[in-house]
Structure 1
Amino acid sequence: MQAPIASTKELLDFLNQLEDIQVITETFKNPRPDDVRRIYSALVTHVLDIRTEDIINQNNLQKNSADYSTTSISNYNEASYVLTNPEEHVDSVIEMEFYKYIQKILTSSGYMEFSFKDLISPTGPRFVKQLSAILNLLRFREHYALKEYETMMFDATAYEVQKEELEKSLDADTILLSRLREKNQNINSSIKSLKSETTELTQTLRELDINRVKLEQEAARLQKINATNAQTLANEKEQVTKLQAECDILQTQIVHNPEELKKKIIELRTTIEKTRAQQQDKENTRQNILRERDGIRKLDKDTQSAVKSLYDYEKEANRRTQQLKSMQDKNNMIEELQEDCNQLLGNKQHLIRQTKNLENKIDNLKNANQQKQKMSMQTLSDLKNKKVKVTEEVDAIQRRIYEVQVAIAKKRQQGEDISRNHNAEMLQMKQEYEGLSSVVRNVHQRLYDRTPLVDMTNH
């Protein structure tokens, strides 16, 4: 399919962007060989990045070298097989290399009709078609490269945005996890402190409960002793009352029997003293019991206060238990949050792995693209090598044809020169012949005029 013909303005804008190129409209109408060569040289440099100096250096052609038999130049060696005197055709080899690069560009552009004649005797329409094909090739290459670049940039931007979002989510999750861990540590410290205090208070409560039971038992024992002592005191008071009555009776009997009375008085006194001593002992015992009772009451009061404190402590312990339960609930919630954090971390790791997978996928795509490009380049290189071989064969044939054409032109020129010289000689000979013929005719005429007529009939 033929490439669309570019307008003159498009071609001017395109060519004037090249290095050291200034083109006018007349160039497209009536192109001159030197202008065509200059434009194609700039295009070879622009498209293939090969300068004319590179072509010369690549072929390593040395015009001034006297020894061509030891030259290691591939093109010269190829030329030596088809040319009789290759040292005389160094410029022709460079020209053919230049022609090969131009043909490569135009063939890649889809223009298959390029020939050596387009360099020697260019025409406007063909030159415009050739430039249009190259311009369309460069536009396609630029558009394809730009599209590929935009696609890759879009994918890279999307991956970068996703990566930033994942990093932000990761930072937020990390901060939340750090706060939860710190809060969990504080709660664990409070729980440990409460457990320690609860253990101590429980031990104290047990000890106080044991002491309370002991005090209650001791109070019951002392109450029994107090009741027993009170009964004993009442009995002794009754005995004292009886003794007092006997004393009164004895006083009434003092007059009747003094000796016996004295004896009884002494006995009574002894009995009373013993009774008083016993009563005093009883009183002392009772006072001791009362003091013990007061002490027991005080102890009971202290015990009740302790029990109340224990009840208060039990309430506090219950409250602490509720707090502990609340702490446990919070701890469970923290564990759930920890699990959520772990899940978030897992999601984060998954997202990181996903990001790495995406990056690996991008790298794989890049590698695959590079591999495909390498394979394409390899295939293209193989095709180019085949094409180069064919082109070299064609070039060799064309060089041979060119040399034959040059030889024919020389022979033709020589033939034309010989023909001109021959024609000139023939003309000169004709002129000389005509001059001689005129002289001969004149001589013959004079001889004829001077010769007498002879009657041939007599002979």
Structure 2
Amino acid sequence: MAENTFPVHNADTIVNFYRSEVLTGQEAKHFTKGDLTPVPKPEAVQTLYMRVLHLLFRFKPECHSMVPLLDGIQYPAYHEGATTILSVYTRMKQFLPMCLVNDFSLNDLLTPKKQRTLVILSAIMNFLHFRKERMEKMLEKQAKFRADTDKLRAYTKGIREAEKKIELLTTIPPEQQAEAEELAAALSELQATTVHEYQEVNTTKQSIAELKTKMAEKTQKLAQMKVDVSNLKEDISKLKSQIVESPEELKSQMEKMRETVKNIKKSITETDECAVEMQNRVQNATHSEAEIHQMYVLLQDLESSMNNAKQRQEEYQELVVQNEKMQKELKSLLNEEGQLKRALDMKLGKECKQNIRRQKKREMKEQHVQEELRQCEQIHQKREEMADKIQQITGETQQLKAKIKSLRDVCSKETEKAQALYDTLSTSMDELHRRIEMHIEDLKLNITENAANF
């Protein structure tokens, strides 16, 4: 006891603490510093220990005086005082090692000493402070757990409703299965045609590149031809000044030159038109590729949302397992309460017998009446506490109902958004198919025209 790991408090602080935290009713009023100093009173110390055991382990003070029901006991009334002291001693011997007091003895109950009792009471006080802190933390964790379970239930309800709506949207009725099969076949054909068109587009791009190279070569040749023509014109002007030719030959040469110039201009305009058409085709092809990429991104988003739903289902299953464990613990606690109630019933029957035997002893009867009144006060307090708890539970249920309504509204809004997305996707797919058909027809016409021109 010389090396304590907890602080030893004064008698004033100990009396104030046990008045406010442990004792109730008239016991708190009558408990004073004189019960501990200069010489502790055994009755006051024993009542303190009994109240501590009742507060921690729900072992009522009346249960200490219960004599075991054996057949061969004579005069069981004489055994009551010894049984109470021995039961308090055994319970405190089991409890005090948790408070780091390992040398508790019967002398601490029968003939307590001042310093020894102060040390034991300060150890119990330290343990009660620690228990209070832990209980507050556990209550906070329980509140968080309840809120999380409520959220989980609401989310699971929303997920189930969404899954049902998704099933309704995805499942095809038997009346429309034939149309769905036809649409699936048409989609497969469209996919095949789009792949073929992509290949054709690639080939057209290659041909465009070749045409561009040819056009560059032709433009170079035209530039050279223009330079040659200008040089020839200069030579002709020089020769005209030197040589006088016949007008008929000049006319024929001029007509030939004009025809060649016309042919060159026609070829230039045709090549420009082909280049513009090919550029338009390339732009249309890039635009269709961008639309297909957007559709692919939307499908990826849908897959990620389905994966999130699966993860939430797994978390829900884990929480269900935890809930089952908590229900088992509650059942065990209810069984313990039933056993305690049975013990109380036995104790009440015994008290009735003892009252019959103690009719001549008025003083003992008055003490018994006072004890019964204290029990009644405690019962009334417990009833008030239970009423407060019931009110709290009703308030929590109302809050939960409000939360459930809000979550249902959120789920309905999300389903409307999903329906709107589905409608937009269907309309965009229809427009895509129309554009693809238009592009196919345009490509066919352009291919025929290019073939005719080449």
TM-score (ref. length: structure 1): 0.35
Q: Which has the larger radius of gyration?
A: 1
